[in-house]
DNA sequence: ACAAATACCTGTAAGC
DNA sequence: TGCTTACAGGTATTTG
């Protein structure tokens, strides 16, 4: 767990949780004292509601205890997650000033300026949080499939009519994924705050489906490496 | 400025 | 069975 002074949660003692928010993959818990608890789950983190008597899961790194609402526990086996308190009055806090605009509100114009002149693969730009906040490995692949664009294409070569498809696909994929409660993969790492698994993994068209027939055309889905990560796409539907 | 490689951790699955 | 290796949804940092 990065950026987590030991006295982290003591700063919130006695305060009331007033609202929660989000920008990209960062979660914000805002408190009556004006501080914001910023949480990033990274690859293996979970934020789980629990009763005080529930046994502590392994790798529980922080526990928020409420007077009447039980506990909120931060569990993270790989310790990549991030937890810190910011004094910024308005989220997103100053610590996250490099974050790009949230992906849910992205417009074709934003994609145009973000991709222009870039030689990097389209997918590499989509998951760059300074460009667009909120898209990760799974959704980048699914967005590229919905937009019928190869993820390994040089980003700067995407044409205007394709930018429009990309923008529309980003919105529709992310909205559908949120509606389905997110993607809980085989490792079961993602669960919502109540411990419920998501269902969007059932709707993945290409992610994790190397060798399976494309849902649209039947051609085998392929897996390639983009940087250090896997990328999945249909070589017939996507160009 | 951009792009690519690497490091950070633990858990799990695959391969021998 | 037991061991080794590769890989996993992310991002900061280093290197080119």
pLDDT value at residue A89: 72
- The confidence score (pLDDT) of residue A199 equals 96
Distance A26 CA to B8 C1' (A): 19
Give the tokens for residue A120: 């990097």
- Is A97 (CB) below 7 Å from strand C? no
CA A157 to chain centre: 26
Looking at residue A5, what is its pLDDT? 65
Total-model pTM: 0.96
Q: Are strands A222-226 and A229-233 parallel, antiparallel or unpaired?
A: antiparallel
- Fold (topology level) of A103-233: Helicase, Ruva Protein; domain 3 (1.10.8)
Whole-number pLDDT of residue A218: 96
Query: Which strand (E) or helix (H) includes residue A20?
Result: strand A17-23
Whether A9-96 shares its CATH topology with A103-233 is answered no
A173 touches strand B (CB under 7 A): no
CA of A83 to C1' of B11 (A): 22
Q: What is the pLDDT of residues A40-93, one digit of tens each?
A: 999 999 999 999 999 999 999 999 999 999 999 999 999 999 999 998 877 788
Rounded CA separation A102/A189 (Å): 23
What number does CATH give the domain A9-96? 3.20.190.10
Q: How far is the C-alpha of A31 from the C-alpha of A154, rounded, in Å? A: 44
Reported as half-sphere exposure (CB side, CA atoms, 13 A), residue A120 has a value of 13
Domains of chain A, by residue range, sit at 9-96, 103-233
Instruction: Please tell me whether any atom of strand C lies within 7 Å of the Cβ of A120.
Output: no
The residue ranges of chain A whose pLDDT is under 70 are: 1, 5-6
Average pLDDT, chain A: 94
Instruction: Give A56's Cβ-side CA count (13 Å radius).
Output: 12
Q: What is the pLDDT of residue A6?
A: 63
CB of A122 under 7 A from strand C? no
What's residue A2's pLDDT?
Answer: 72
A184 touches strand C (CB under 7 A): yes
A54 with A198: CB under 8 angstroms? no
What's the CA A227/C1' C3 distance, rounded, in angstroms?
A: 29
Protein-contacted positions of strand B (CB under 7 Å): 2-13
């Amino acid at each position: 767990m990065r950026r987590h002074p030991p006295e982290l949660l003591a700063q919130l003692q006695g305060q009331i949780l007033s609202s929660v928010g989000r920008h990209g993959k960062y979660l914000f818990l805002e408190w009556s004292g004006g501080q914001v608890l910023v949480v990033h789950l990274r690859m293996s983190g979970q934020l789980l509601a629990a009763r005080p008597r529930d046994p502590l899961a392994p790798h529980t790194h922080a526990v928020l205890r409420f007077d009447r609402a039980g506990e909120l526990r931060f569990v993270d086996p790989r310790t990549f997650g991030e937890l810190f308190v910011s004094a910024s009055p308005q989220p997103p806090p100053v610590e996250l000033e490099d974050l790009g605009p949230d992906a849910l509100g992205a417009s074709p114009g934003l994609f145009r300026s973000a991709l222009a002149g870039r030689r990097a693969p389209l997918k590499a730009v989509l998951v760059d949080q300074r460009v667009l906040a909120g898209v990760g490995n799974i959704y980048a692949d699914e967005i590229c499939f919905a937009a019928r664009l190869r993820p390994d294409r040089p980003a700067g070569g995407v044409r205007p009519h394709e930018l429009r498809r990309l923008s529309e696909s980003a919105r529709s994929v992310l909205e559908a994924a949120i509606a389905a409660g997110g993607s809980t993969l085989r490792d079961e790492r993602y669960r919502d705050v109540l411990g419920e698994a998501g269902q969007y993994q059932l709707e993945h068209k290409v992610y994790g489906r190397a060798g399976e027939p494309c849902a649209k055309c039947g051609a085998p889905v392929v897996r390639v490496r983009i940087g250090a990560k896997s990328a999945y796409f249909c070589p017939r539907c996507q160009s």
